[in-house]
Amino acid sequence: MTDMRNAGHPDAGPVPQHALQRLAGLRRQGHPDGVFTSDFSVNEFLLVRKAGFEPIGLCVGSCIYHVGMQFAGWSDSMEMQVLSTAMYEARSLAMERMRQEAAQMGADGIVGVRLTVRRMEWDDKVLEFVAIGTGIVHAQGHQGFRGPYGQPFTSALSGQDFWTLLQAGYRPLEMVMGTCVFHVARRGVFATLGSVGQNVELTNFSVALYEAREIAMERMQLEASRAGAEGVVGADLHEGSHGWATHVIEFFAIGTAVLPIEGHKPEDLPDPKLVLSVNS
């Protein structure tokens, strides 16, 4: 699977007309009478503004995708590459359309991005992929926060984490991801009977799931390297079957690639503060 998002997905298509009408009514430079929209909490809103940015509006990208078919033998542990490619391609389309909306509204980047997947009721082979986040712009017009190729950066960080990252001297560059759909081989009859009533590791299952997770994380790391990032923060690993056959599972790794802010020195880092939670 190749990283297509940095260069802009060729099949992302134009922004829908109703989206253009919505974007035209947002508060931004040249249109101070508009309104901003966001999914920020009050604290996130304040911290994003404290970081020197202003919210512009929600950015949305959607993709309805028909996932193809692939078969694996009963005793084969293997990646389902057709399914892996489909899951990556569909998410890339949704994210690229979200980024197109951000560019249309003049945003420098998108924070709080959420990626969701749901199976459509009319066909179990059809999935909807949705990417949504809040487009923001630097209040002083600073262009140094853009992502690769001058496009708006994307980030899964919350408003609080975004502010903290900037305070630490780093900036978000790109959401990076890796996926692997894997078929886990079934155990033979004799192997199953041999472990009845025993405490024993199911080695074939352990190895298969271990390998699938590593493939997903390796692909996420490769995307960060290609984007020119120093590292990835907020990495998370999700598991799901999406209604496929038994013994078929997807591992999806996602995080935010970051870079040091130019001119920021390690001694500029704020001292850590102790925070006690009052939640039970």
In a domain, 69, yes or no: yes
In a domain, 278, yes or no: no
Give me the pLDDT at residue 247, please.
82
In a domain, 9, yes or no: no
In a domain, 269, yes or no: no
Q: In what order do the strands lie in the sheet with 126-138?
A: 53-66, 126-138, 109-119, 153-154
Nearest in space to 39 (alpha carbons), one of 108, 129, 132, 102: 132
In a domain, 239, yes or no: yes
In a domain, 1, yes or no: no
Give me the pLDDT at residue 3, please.
44
Give me the pLDDT at residue 26, please.
75
In a domain, 78, yes or no: yes
Q: CB within 8 A of 174, min separation 6: which ones?
A: 5, 6, 147, 148, 153, 154, 223, 224, 227, 229, 256, 257
Which residue range forms the structural domain that includes residue 58? 17-261
pLDDT means over runs of 10, the chain (280 residues): 47 74 70 82 92 93 86 73 92 94 93 91 86 91 80 93 92 95 74 67 84 96 94 93 83 95 71 67
Nearest in space to 160 (alpha carbons), one of 40, 268, 241: 40
CATH of residue 250's domain is: 3.30.110.70
Q: CB within 8 A of 216, min separation 6: which ones?
A: 178, 179, 180, 237, 251, 252, 253
Give me the pLDDT at residue 61, please.
95
Number of domains comprising the chain: 1
Give me the pLDDT at residue 6, please.
42
Rounded to the nearest 10 degrees, what angle do helices 17-24 and 81-104 cross at? Answer: 40
In a domain, 270, yes or no: no
User: Are 163 and 48 spatial neighbours (Cβ–Cβ below 8 Å)?
Assistant: yes
Phi, psi (5° rounding) for residue 110?
Answer: -130, 130
